Structure 1
Amino acid sequence: MGEAVQRRFLGLTAAVAALGMTATLSACGGGDAGSGDVTLKLVAADYGTGPENSSEKYWSGVASGFEKEHPGIKIDVTVLSWKDVDREVAEMVKAGNAPDIAQIGAYADYAKAGKLYTADETLAIRTTANFLPSLTYAGKVDGTLYGLPFVASTRLLFYNEKLFEQAGLDAPETWDDISSDAAALKAKGVDYPFALPLGQEEAQAETLMWLLSGNGGYTDDVGSYDIDSAENVATFRWLRDNLVGKGLTGPVAPGKLDRAKAFEAFTAGKVGMLNGHPTLMDEAEAKGVKVGMVPLPGADGPTKGSMGVADWMMGFKENGHRKEIGAFLDYAYSDENVLEFAEQYDLLPVTGSASAAMETDKKHQKLHEFLAALPNSTLPPFGKTSWATVSDAIKKKIGSAVAPGSNPESILGEISAEATQAEAAE
């Protein structure tokens, strides 16, 4: 996902303040015998695009600041690309060499296996209470918070203002608007009137946005998978009949269109509408594309809740450094740190106090619409260990549900059956 982080979590409580006493640290946290010093191994994902904005610079700065305040604790920072970081951490854990802290894309498997500390075991109460509720909910397994939200993002419908002006169009508010606007854009020769990337790269996210706009989703009110619900089937029938079937999604079939290619076409001025995030907004405007943004239109009006995305921080039990991990996490979630990361990568803070600070800062005005959507956002079911399997099934099959002549009910039913089986195996 790559973008934002938040940190505001006051000064350390009395228990954490005791961390200044290295002898106490080693006794409580399992430091090196005799030395009183503890080294925490931190493995984090790189949100940067090159050496000049690598996340390693950010984490090195946080580590340095923390070490000055806690002379008995050292932070060993390793930053890996998103292509490698989840796999590398999994291999470390399997080899019995887990990091103390990981900032990666998934936490549920480790939580279910009993390898993670809970938030209650590590964080100050005010740190935990500062996380946005929707993100806290998404970080829980069986009602207990293990995955600490690190950075977040939401999605809005993007449209090319120049192409809309040329076609005499206003911003869409409903599905019917999307269909009629896309037809007008096609008549003007726009390559991708509505880019619908349901290829394997990020199909699970694009799918969730549409399900939410049709008053559906991946799960029901009690958190069980409900992928082939009547609402979800109706949504994909609409996409099949009113966008794809009418030739309004461009020259590449949605099932073969990856998000990166759709985004690339948008920044090149070839797309009328698509679902986007803050990074795409910056990339498009840097190339001279003026971007309009509205909440994703629904069947009868704007969708009330956006899709949210988050990445996660977690503390591993293996080395027994519970208190030291807690001290570092409380420090990392200070407003100053959270906002610095969010600002650098155009992401959204995960804490209430940092979000409030960003909301009142005019320099972040371009992010305010995304920020406003975050509290009511719906995230994928990250707390299910089955989600990785289900997500993979969606990526492989969902594109065929919108192909002309397809049977969305049958395809959603296949995915739903896989989800039920995967959930039963949790």
Structure 2
Amino acid sequence: MDDRGGRLPVRRRAQGAIAAVAALGLAAGLSGCSGTSSADVTLRLVAADYGTSAADSTRAYWDRLVKDYESRHPDVHIEVTVQPRDQVDRTVRRMADAGDPPDLAQSTDYAGYAAQGLLYRADELLSIPVQADFLGSLSDAGQVQHVRYGIPFAASTRVLFYNKTLFRAAGLTPPTTWDELAHDAQVLKAQGVTYPYALPLGPQEAQAEALQWMLGGGAGCTDDLGTYTLNSQRNTDTFTWIRDELVGAGLTGPVPPADLDRSEAYAAFAAGDVGMVDAQPALVRQAQRTGVAFGTVPVPGRDSTSKTSLATTDWMMAFKKNGHRDEIGDFLDFVYDDNNVLDFSRTYDLLPVTTSASDAMAASAQDKKLAPFLDQLPLAELYPAGKPSWPAVGADMTRRIGQAVAPDGDPADVLDQLQSAAVEAEGATAG
């Protein structure tokens, strides 16, 4: 047993097995050759690119990590393919559908593959200390039928960013309720601010903005039993309020929310054209680059600060097709070493998914800018990623939810359509 618990490193396991066979004088007979060394193993990993340009591509992170790992394990080779984040899911799906999945993949979806019996369980791969170190809410979200297949890789939460210069000029304080947010937006509009409140419900991950508002309204997209409740009365009331009090009042800027992408909203904030926007840690560095003076507060809720914030995470998963379970597990233990987790999180302004790395970040002065996001993570709500139907449901939300808040939109009708499609998707993936 090694000092991480349970499993010896790959080379030590292989050497131990070879030594035992040699002692029995059976090596040549078993293999028809000398049998004095184990065959090299190559693992293929499809990874998402969290960078914003070639200069900060995630390729550089994986190159460093793989070089370090292979120097310690010369009989294991890691081939990494880095894909844009909006393409990585499709790439993995094409490979899996062709019967040639990678050994490891990052994705926003793992449940569908788990339901098909294609993935290793997390407890088949990871050492006990690594398994125990994941933040509880993230670990639970990686389960299908109470078995963990999705291994959290990177997390983020949301806070309300506000432009300090614009707020100071207008004599405003950051809002804690929806009514205060609408009031502040009205004042900012009167001051000539282009986007008093930026509401990105366009094709780029609109389901995240929508779910944050659902949570602020005291609901969500599922109930406590995991049943879809997209068309609940609380959700209907939430999007009706957004339509009437924000969009209809002209407080969301010149681009209709259904056409405004997250990246466009962030760029407008960094340019000084946005008064307020719900955003992830990525906006911190973007705003700092342009010199915008900004502050952050918890996302407002209907009657007070939202009791629950949205957290999102991407998942690591391991396919069984090519075997190599021990090598995959050993490599993942290395990936989730604190130094590597912190290196990745700091490089890409994301939150660690392990308790030990989170504690280290919370105690570090260099990570102070991420503290507001880190504070939200322990009790944050995640997508229902353990439902095989969620990728289809989330994609449908992204396509349609912007229609609900258009000035002439019908929130109840749009949410009814989403609910019907969700029920159908759930039935198609059941069993």
- Asked if TM exceeds 0.5, the reply is yes
Separation of aligned partners in 2, 1:377 and 1:160: 25
Partner of 1:181 in structure 2? Answer: 184
1:266 is paired with a residue whose SS is helix
**Does residue 1:338 correspond to 2:341, yes or no?**
yes
Moved over 4 A (4+): 23-27
Q: CA deviation at 1:352?
A: 0.3
Separation of aligned partners in 1, 2:52 and 2:273: 24
Q: Contact 1:12–1:327 at 8 Å: present in 2 too?
A: no
Of the three residues 14, 36, 44, the one matched with 1:41 is 44
Alignment of 1:158-307 (within 5 A): 158-307=161-310
Of the three residues 400, 403, 427, the one matched with 1:400 is 403
Alignment of 1:8-407 (within 5 A): 11-17=3-9, 19-22=11-14, 36=38, 37-407=40-410
In structure 2, give the amino acid aligned to 1:204: Q
Q: Which moved more, 1:264-273 or 1:365-374?
A: 264-273
Q: Deviations over 1:48-92 (max 9, x none)?
A: 223332222211222222223333322222222224322222222
Q: Contact 1:156–1:294 at 8 Å: present in 2 too?
A: yes
Separation of aligned partners in 1, 2:358 and 2:77: 30
Partner of 1:414 in structure 2? Answer: 417
In structure 1, give the amino acid aligned to 2:14: T
Q: CA deviation at 1:389?
A: 1.4
Q: Contact 2:160–2:276 at 8 Å: present in 1 too?
A: yes
Return 5+ residue gaps in structure 2 as ranges: 21-32
1:77 is paired with a residue whose SS is strand
Separation of aligned partners in 1, 2:94 and 2:45: 15
In structure 2, give the amino acid aligned to 1:402: V
Q: CA deviation at 1:96?
A: 2.3
Separation of aligned partners in 2, 1:386 and 1:403: 27
1:45 is paired with a residue whose SS is strand
**TM-score relative to the length of structure 1:** 0.93
Separation of aligned partners in 1, 2:59 and 2:102: 16
Q: Contact 2:6–2:127 at 8 Å: present in 1 too?
A: no
Q: Contact 2:230–2:416 at 8 Å: present in 1 too?
A: yes
In structure 2, give the amino acid aligned to 1:312: W
Q: CA deviation at 1:409?
A: 1.3
Separation of aligned partners in 1, 2:381 and 2:8: 34
- RCO greater where, 1 or 2, for CA within 8 Å and sep 6 or more? 1
Separation of aligned partners in 2, 1:100 and 1:210: 37
In structure 2, give the amino acid aligned to 1:319: N
Q: Deviations over 1:226-263 (max 9, x none)?
A: 10111111111111111112111111221222222211
Larger radius of gyration: 2
Separation of aligned partners in 1, 2:3 and 2:112: 31
Distance 1:311 1:321, change over 3 A: same
Q: Which moved more, 1:252-261 or 1:189-198?
A: 252-261
Q: CA deviation at 1:20?
A: 2.2
Percent identity over the alignment is: 50
Equivalent residue pairs, number: 412
Separation of aligned partners in 1, 2:245 and 2:188: 14
In structure 1, give the amino acid aligned to 2:45: L
Q: Deviations over 1:131-151 (max 9, x none)?
A: 111111221111111110000
Q: CA deviation at 1:24?
A: 6.0
1:84 is paired with a residue whose SS is helix
Q: Deviations over 1:315-364 (max 9, x none)?
A: 11011111111111111101000000001111100000000000000110
Q: CA deviation at 1:25?
A: 7.8
Separation of aligned partners in 1, 2:344 and 2:296: 24
1:16 is paired with a residue whose SS is coil
Distance 1:55 1:303, change over 3 A: same
Separation of aligned partners in 1, 2:419 and 2:214: 14
Partner of 2:30 in structure 1? Answer: none
Q: Which moved more, 1:150-159 or 1:67-76?
A: 67-76
Q: Contact 1:227–1:412 at 8 Å: present in 2 too?
A: yes
Q: Contact 1:20–1:71 at 8 Å: present in 2 too?
A: no
Q: CA deviation at 1:23?
A: 5.3
2:7 is paired with a residue whose SS is helix
Partner of 1:424 in structure 2? Answer: 427
